Structure 1
Amino acid sequence: MDEETTRSRKLQLRRQLRSRRAAAYAGEDGAARRAREAQQLLAHAAPLIAEVERAVGAASAAGAPAPLVAAYHPTPSEADVLPLAGRLARAGARVVFPAAAGRELEWISWDGDSTFVDSPGRGFGQEPTGERLGTRALEEAMLVLAPAVAVDRSCTRIGHGAGYYDRALRTLPEGARIIAVIHPQELLAPGALPCEAHDVRIPEVLTADGLVSLVTSALS
């Protein structure tokens, strides 16, 4: 598949997937479903929370900064990662959220309690009002909870089309975990999504059905 065909296919898939998501989580019933799934996400994230708590303890004992975790403010139809982000903040992690800064993502600290405000960036929902840490903050991250329109079991992620996360994820230190947070039906079969050379592979996904390693599941 040539580059132009791949991009056209991505655009078509993105529209289809967004339409399905919007229909599935529309109205009061959709909002109630999303709220239930947010609590299921939180429950399935218990191993992540424990890992962050251990890292917080180790950093405290060494007199080092607390571990940094990146999350995102979801749109009304995206998987709701905010309860998990709040839990990680209460565990002592430094939690950051993205904002647009030209072609890059800038990262803003969140204390786990402060309100969010509308972002001026096109396609961005809301952002916290905390300290702005610049575009290189993820160089210190231990965990990134990333949004996605869908992910397939070949570790291919399709995002919202601007490439922000593909650029940001390349700044991560070795050993940092990247976990896409999506709805259960948005984890697709291997090879379902077209992949370009600049796409960053996603090794794990978190849905209301569980935390899945796409690397180990592909080997089983």
Structure 2
Amino acid sequence: MGITINPDERNFVKIGAILGIIGTLLYIFASAIHGNPPIEEAETLLPFLADSTLWREVHLANIAAIFLWLASFIILTSLLSNKIAIIWSKVANSFMIMTCGVFALYFHIHSFALPLLATKWVSADEETYGSIVIETNATLTMLGTTAFISQAMLGLSIILYGIVLLFVPVLKRWLAYLGIIAGLGWLIGAIIIDFSIIVRFTVLAWIWVFLVCTLLLLNMRSTIH
């Protein structure tokens, strides 16, 4: 990333890029398995969760994917030499750390609280059924209040990393603009509460991270004499 490349730094670039690629593939895999579950109402969600076998693992995989992104970004930006890029990377990394905290909390509640309620629902009698439904709807309401915050923060994080790339000459400038566009669309989708927009620009962000990391790996290979 606009880097003074010596053998030790080349190894760190490889590690950072590989972590970014693994995180992206894990994010895609987890999202594909997750699909579009009926999370609007407790009455439809609880039976779905009772029959689900990978709900917890999928959400934990989502958390792992975002933390892999964080590790990748921190490693790669630590090798920057351009002073303006370094300043922007500090802002981006700080914001991404906060984003990961919110994102992890959101998906952790998904992965543990909701399956626990579904387990209670399976064995519930008439007296406790209503309270479990109420508790589940309350949990869904709480998740709804944090869902779009976490998505907005991820979008803004991608924008910041796209800005960093504007000052990284080793990569093509269009990659910076692609990242900014992906993050901006993601952010707008979260602000207007439209998951269809979020999904489209999340996919674009996946492509962007994968491209950046792949091109960095190829660039490292081209510097080996």
Q: Give the TM-score range, shorter chain.
A: under 0.3
Structure in which a larger fraction of residues adopt helix: 2
Question: TM-score if structure 2 supplies the norm length?
Answer: 0.25
Larger of the two Rg values belongs to structure: 2
Q: Which has the higher contact order (CA 8 A, sep 6+)?
A: 2
TM-score by length of 1: 0.26
